[in-house]
Amino acid sequence: MYMYKEALGKIFSKIDEKKGFSEAISREKTYAVCRRCEHYEEVNKEFFAKILGGAVAAFGFKAWIAFLFAGTGFAFAICVAIIAGGVAIAAFSKEISEWLSKRYECPSCHNKSWEIVTGEELILRHHNMDKDKTIDGLKNEKEFFEKKIEEIEEGRRLLEMKLKEVRNNHPDQFNKKKAFFKKTFKNIKNNDAIDFLTTGEVFFEFGNKVVEGDYSAIVLEYVKSVETLLLEVLKKRRIYNKGDEKLSLNGIIKKYDAQWDTEIKEKIKEIREMRNPAAHKNMTAKKEAEKIRRIVLGGGDNGIEKSGLISYINMLLL
C-alpha cells in the first residue's frame, strides 16, 4: 500500500537525518531551528549578514545602517546580537525568532517560523529523538504519520469537492476554456485529457481563493492530463497494453522507455521531482504549481505559448 510505504519512508529518512545531527552541533553555539521541519542553522554574524543581505541590496547601505540603529522594533536586539554574539543572541532569542520569522523562509520547507535555541538544547532534543529508534518509537511514528496521511487524504477529498463546486458554479468559464483547448490542440481527441486540463486551468484561476496555499489538486489535474495523453500516443502507435491505464506517469515512461525522447523524459522527471511528497510535506505551493503548469502548458501570462508538454504531445498525435 502506497500510504504505508510513504509513512515508512518518512520515518527512515527522519532517522537518517538525525544520524548526522549531534556531530554537527556545538554546545556553545546558538541555532535557529525551523519549527516545521527541524532544519537548523547556526546564528552568527554570517547568518545575520545573509538575512540582511536582501535588505542591503534592496535599500542600499545607508538604509541598512538607519534600519539597524533606528531603535524601533527589533533593531536594538538584532544590532546587539550581531555585535556581541553568543550570550546576547541567547538573551534576545525571543526577539530574534520573531524578527526572523517575519523575513526568512526555511530553505528546506519554505515555512517562516523559527525558534532560537542553544546548541546544548538542540543536542538534548536529539537524545530524546533517539527513542524513535526503538520499535515502540517506530510504531508511534508510523501511527502518527498514518494519521497525518489520513488528514491529508481528507484534505484532498475536500479539494476535489471544491473543484466540482467551481466547475458547477462557473460552467461558462469552464466551457469557454474547454473550447479553447479543443481548438488549440486539434489532434487531441481524448475528452478526459481535455477535461483534466480545463479543470486544472479553471481551478488555477480560482485556486488562490478556494484553497489557501495548497495547489496539489490543480497539479494533479495537469498530471492526469499528461498521463492520459501519453497513453493516447501509445494507443496510436499500437503498443498500448491492457492495464497500462493503471500506470503512473513515471511508470508509463519507464515501461515504454524507448518510445520517449530525452526532452519528454526530462520534463517528466522535473514534474516528478516537484511532486515528491517528502520534498514539500504534501503541500504543493503556488510556485511549484506554476512551474508544473509552465512545463505542461508553456505558461506565459495569457494562456498557452507554443512550447509546453501538451503541445508537444499534440504533435506526436498528428
Residues interacting with Zn ion, by CB under 5 A? 34, 36-37, 39, 106, 108-109, 111
DSSP label at 27? T
Please, which residue, 36 or 156, has the CB nearer to Zn ion?
36
Closest approach of Zn ion to the CB of residue 220, in Å: 24
- Cα 52 from Cα 72, distance rounded (Å): 16
Closest approach of Zn ion to the CB of residue 134, in Å: 26
Closest approach of Zn ion to the CB of residue 156, in Å: 22
Please, which residue, 36 or 148, has the CB nearer to Zn ion?
36
Please, which residue, 37 or 68, has the CB nearer to Zn ion?
37
Cα three-residue angle 105-107-109, rounded to 5 degrees: 85
Please, which residue, 277 or 298, has the CB nearer to Zn ion?
277
Closest approach of Zn ion to the CB of residue 41, in Å: 10
Please, which residue, 123 or 283, has the CB nearer to Zn ion?
283
Q: Could you tell me the CA-to-CA distances from 267 to 127, 276, 308 in Å, in that order?
A: 42, 14, 9
DSSP label at 32? E
Task: List CB contacts of 103: < 8 A, sequence separation 6 or more.
Answer: 51, 54, 112
Closest approach of Zn ion to the CB of residue 280, in Å: 10
Nearest to 245 by CA among 257, 234, 236, 254: 234
In this structure, what C-alpha cell is assigned to residue 179? 473550447
Please, which residue, 280 or 286, has the CB nearer to Zn ion?
280
Closest approach of Zn ion to the CB of residue 82, in Å: 23
Instruction: Kindly report the number of other CB atoms within 10 A of residue 243's CB atom.
Output: 7
In this structure, what C-alpha cell is assigned to residue 166? 467551481
- Cα 34 from Cα 108, distance rounded (Å): 9
How many residues comprise the chain? 318
Please, which residue, 148 or 170, has the CB nearer to Zn ion?
148
Please, which residue, 115 or 141, has the CB nearer to Zn ion?
115
- Cα 132 from Cα 143, distance rounded (Å): 12
- Cα 299 from Cα 290, distance rounded (Å): 8
Nearest to 90 by CA among 30, 168, 146, 24: 30
Pairing of strands 30-34, 114-118: antiparallel
- Cα 164 from Cα 166, distance rounded (Å): 5
Please, which residue, 14 or 182, has the CB nearer to Zn ion?
14
Closest approach of Zn ion to the CB of residue 38, in Å: 7
Question: Backbone phi, then psi, for 52, in 5-degree steps?
Answer: -75, -15
Closest approach of Zn ion to the CB of residue 108, in Å: 4
Closest approach of Zn ion to the CB of residue 269, in Å: 25
> Position 79: which residue type?
C
